[in-house]
Structure 1
Amino acid sequence: MQKTTKINKQIKNQTVQQLFWRYAVLTLMLFVQSSFGHEETHENQVDDYTISVVTETWFPFNYFDKNQEIVGTSTDLVKAILDHANIDYEINLYPWQRAFSYARTHKNTLIYSIFRTPLREDLLHWICPIAKRPVHSVYKLAKRKDIKIDAANDLANYTINLTRGTFPHEFFISKGMKEGVNLQLTATNDSNILMLLKNRVDLIVEAEMAIFQLIKELGLPEDTVEKVYTFDEMNQAPICMALSKETPAYIVEKIRQSHKALYPH
């Protein structure tokens, strides 16, 4: 009797083990099929996927040409990357504050050319870089002999015009300057140079390659403006493209891989 009971128990244990392993194998097979199914779905989705792309006017990276086409060195690269990733897109050019706000609040949105800063780090998915860092400096009208800048602290004695919401705006706020006191804000880079030329402000901040293009477009000689100060620390942040937080991870990764293929660094 005891021997029969022992044999029945062994048979029962073997049956339980067999059922356990069959269940484990079945679970694994379902998981693998599910994973491949998701990958296949994602690949199919990419073929029909469209993202919104936003940017601002900032020569030579992104701007309207004479035919009102959005062009520029960054624009060319962004288009090439998205084409390589097989992702459809539509590019719109807005004032910077509007473009930045749109990228933070709308899913499936890409913004460029944008500086990657600590304040912005957690707001977007970053893909960097897409251009060499331009040197930003502070400029005055050359004829303004009354403006004397020998050190950074001297800047607080004058009014500085900046584009609202830009990296230079963030930078000068971090240096203790105040809107409406030291800082005057406009919506676009074009407006900044006009404020300077009309003596509405004492100084503006701009990338060297951009300010001389603005001067040229206005039919003025380059020596109309004069560089008075450069913050080395303001020229350390990389220029990037970035995607809104709600953009699917596989789309972000696909664009990131295309960037890596076309812009090795």
Structure 2
Amino acid sequence: MILSGMATPTRRSVLALGLLGCALPGQAEEPIRILTEEYPPFNYTDKGKITGLGTEVVQAVLKEINLDAPFQSLPWARAYETAQSTENVLLYSLNRSKEREKLFKWVGQITPTDFYLFSLKSRNLHINSLEDAKSQNLQIGTVNQDIGEQFLASQGFAVGRNLQSSAKYELNYEKLKLGRVDLWVMNELGAYYMSRQAGDDPAVVLQKALRIPELSGGGNHMAFGLKTSDAVVERFRKGLETIKKNGVYDALQRKWL
């Protein structure tokens, strides 16, 4: 009986260790999920695989920190909410703004950005400010909860009144060409990429009606929600810093831009 009593705690200890698991090389103590959206050329699905400049930067960071993690592309609003509400969910490509600053733990910039209100060159539309667009009641194509929509809403525009919200960026380019919206808020590289993918020449079709300095220059970032531990965020931050120092980051920028 004494031997049996002594053996029971040992078996329980072994079982407990098995349930907790052990961190193996290439594995995190808790699984990491990586979420993004269809936002070419930064992140998009091609032949069933998520690719793009932002994706390759994140993949390079994972390789640097010896970590495997699954990538998933979701509608932006869903990916955005999931990253905020769930532990160990990395979100990219995320524009860093004053409104978002305290909602995430920021890892760092992965791609450049330069935002404009685009119009069709054939319309020869001229505006000098956001107030011009508002006073003329110009309809602007946006994506649900993306940085362009959030910024314009903060400037007094409203979804359903002068913002026409979509789930996908490609839909806004189609709306612009069909005349269903007058303007399209979009990153320059993304706008040109989508125009070319549609078989158009962006230099012929698109006009930069108005640059948005508040959204330009800061770049797209990778970030975790506030529920993720600082240790996990710091691990990714160091990985990003390393690939920026060793030339991998610059090589990827030259490949895509």
Give me the TM-score of the superposition, normalised by structure 1. Answer: 0.77
Q: Does 1:256 align with 2:237?
A: yes
Measure the CA separation in 2 of the matches of 1:252 and 1:230. 33
Match of 1:237 among 218, 225, 246: 218
Alignment of 1:28-107 (within 5 A): 44=23, 47-49=26-28, 50-65=31-46, 67-107=47-87
Structure 2 gaps, min length 5 = 1-19, 250-257
What is the match of residue 7 of structure 2? Answer: none
Measure the CA separation in 1 of the matches of 2:212 and 2:102. 25
Measure the CA separation in 1 of the matches of 2:190 and 2:219. 17
What is the match of residue 133 of structure 2? Answer: 155
Please identify runs of 4+ aligned residues in structure 1 that moved more than 4 A: none
| Greater displacement, 79-88 / 105-114 | 79-88
User: Secondary structure, in 3 states, of the residue corresponding to 1:86?
Assistant: coil
What is the match of residue 214 of structure 1? Answer: 194
What is the match of residue 139 of structure 1? Answer: 118
Alpha-carbon distance change, 224 to 106 in structure 1, aligned in 2, over 3 angstroms: same
Measure the CA separation in 2 of the matches of 1:92 and 1:238. 21
Measure the CA separation in 1 of the matches of 2:210 and 2:148. 13
- Which letter does structure 2 place at the counterpart of 1:116? R
Measure the CA separation in 1 of the matches of 2:24 and 2:65. 12
Alpha-carbon distance change, 141 to 170 in structure 1, aligned in 2, over 3 angstroms: same
Structure index of larger Rg: 1
What is the match of residue 177 of structure 1? Answer: 157
User: Could you tell me how far 1:91 is from its partner in structure 2?
Assistant: 0.2
Match of 1:247 among 206, 228, 231: 228
User: Secondary structure, in 3 states, of the residue corresponding to 1:148?
Assistant: coil
Q: How far does the alpha carbon of each residue in 1:204-259 deviate from its partner, in whole angstroms, 9 at most, with x for none? A: 11112111211111112321221111122221433210012222332222111111
Q: How far does the alpha carbon of each residue in 1:128-177 deviate from its partner, in whole angstroms, 9 at most, with x for none? A: 11122x211111122224x3313332111211111111111111112111
- Is this contact kept in 2: 1:128–1:238, CA < 8 A? no
User: Secondary structure, in 3 states, of the residue corresponding to 1:101?
Assistant: helix
| Greater displacement, 213-222 / 69-78 | 213-222
User: Could you tell me how far 1:83 is from its partner in structure 2?
Assistant: 2.0
Measure the CA separation in 1 of the matches of 2:105 and 2:91. 10
User: Secondary structure, in 3 states, of the residue corresponding to 2:57?
Assistant: helix
Q: What is the count of residue pairs matched by the alignment?
A: 222
User: Secondary structure, in 3 states, of the residue corresponding to 2:208?
Assistant: strand
- Is this contact kept in 2: 1:42–1:250, CA < 8 A? no
Q: How far does the alpha carbon of each residue in 1:67-120 deviate from its partner, in whole angstroms, 9 at most, with x for none? A: 221111111110111122122200001121111111112211000010111221
Measure the CA separation in 1 of the matches of 2:81 and 2:242. 29
Give me the TM-score of the superposition, normalised by structure 2. Answer: 0.80
| Greater displacement, 47-56 / 244-253 | 244-253
Higher relative contact order (CA 8 A, sep 6+): 2
- The percent identity for this pair of structures is 27
Measure the CA separation in 2 of the matches of 1:68 and 1:258. 27
What is the match of residue 228 of structure 1? Answer: 209
Alpha-carbon distance change, 121 to 150 in structure 1, aligned in 2, over 3 angstroms: closer
Structure 1 gaps, min length 5 = 1-40
- Is this contact kept in 2: 1:126–1:241, CA < 8 A? yes
